[in-house]
Every structure is written in C-alpha cells, then in structure tokens.
Amino acid sequence: MIARLAAAAALALLAGCATVTDRPPVSDVNAAFRARQADLAALNRWDLHGRVALRSESEGWNASLVWWRRSDRHRIDLAGPLGSGRVRLKQDADGAELHDSEQNVLHDSSAEALLARATGWQLPVNGLNYWVLGLPAPGSPNSVALDPWGRPATLEQQGWQVEYLDYAKFSGRELPSRLFLKRRSDAPAVAPDAPATLEVRLVIERWVFGD
C-alpha cells in the first residue's frame, strides 16, 4: 500500500495543490488519525472541484465534478455523464432533486436513489460525502487501515472499498486528492438494475472551505 501511495504521488498532476510525500512517519498513527478526525469532522461547508470516472462490467463514463456542501444541503454538478451534457443534483433535509440537460426535473428521497433512478449508476453519495475528506461516515461499521502518517490508506464501509492513492495540501490541510472506490457484492442496492460491479476513480483538484 505504501509503495502504491508513493507511485500515485509521483504520477499526480493536480492544479492548485502540492502533493505530500517527503516527511518522516509519525510516532503514533492512531493518535494522528484521531486528531485528523476531530479537525475534519467540523468541516461541513466546502466546495470540491475535480473529475470522476465510473466503470461497470459493460460501460463507463467520465465527468467533471463540482460538489457544493453547506451542512445538510448539497449541490452536485456533473458535466458530461453518459453523453447527456450537464446534470445538477441537489439534496437537503426535504429530499433530492435532479435537473438534466433537457430541463427535466426528478425528485426522490435521496441523491443516491435519484441518481441511480435517473442514470442507472449507483454512486455512494451519502458515504462519499465523508470519504472525500478521509473520514468514515458516522453511524455505520467501518474498517480503516492507516498509512505511516495516520491518514486512511484504505476504508471499507457500506459495501464499498475506498483506496486513498494520494494526498495533497489544501488550505493548510492534508486531504485526499486521488481516490479509487470499488463496490463489493454485499453493497446495499439502491436501484434493482444498478450494475453489480462498479469502480469509481476520483481526482480532487481543488477544495474551497467556508462560504
């Protein structure tokens, strides 16, 4: 895992950030991870800019991604999915809403269920909301393997395995910049026709915190 992290760091070409590679390991990785959790758990107002690629056993697509979060309110803009132009996905305490490039508007109880219904892709939106920060989602069992600096190297939760391939420094914090997610066979199904096998690659190019 450490070798894979180092290789990913050498290959990363990310705008607006600096990869974090050259410093000694910490003496207590568990204490470092607890400190990270305490700091990052308070971050619930951010913008994430990057790129996402999905691949199932039969098809795949790439899109640019802008994810805007303000506490329990989310707006996710995907440009290019399935060749259909731009998709805007919103979620708040009242439910989720999706706008496609043809001005259709769909509603459902959650962004995850709505995206699966509209596109057939079952993205773990609710868990990914935390995983992009390097945090387990609260309220469900998880397994985390740490790297020598107390950062997650792998995370398993909600039927998904997340590999943190690289970290970078954004606004003074070391945060994930390259992630690889794979849906396991025991992952809960949101849509009956969702692909059984799904891989997600995410490159985070920029974080913006606060309003």
Under CATH, to which class is 2-59+122-209 assigned? Answer: mainly beta
Q: Domain extents for the chain?
A: 2-59+122-209
The token pair at 159 is 């039927």
pLDDT digit string (tens) for 46-84?
999 999 999 987 788 899 999 999 999 999 999 976 545
Please, are residues 120 and 195 in contact by the beta-carbon 8 Å criterion? yes
Q: How confident is the model at residue 190 (pLDDT cuts 50, 70, 90)?
A: low
Instruction: State how far the alpha carbon of 154 is from the alpha carbons of 4, 34, 96, 145, in Å.
Output: 12, 16, 29, 5
Return d(Cα 31, Cα 69) in angstroms, integer: 28
- pLDDT (0 to 100) of residue 210: 81
Whether the predicted pLDDT of 120 surpasses 50 = yes
Q: Which residues pair with 173 in a beta bridge?
A: 170
Model pLDDT, residue 18? 41
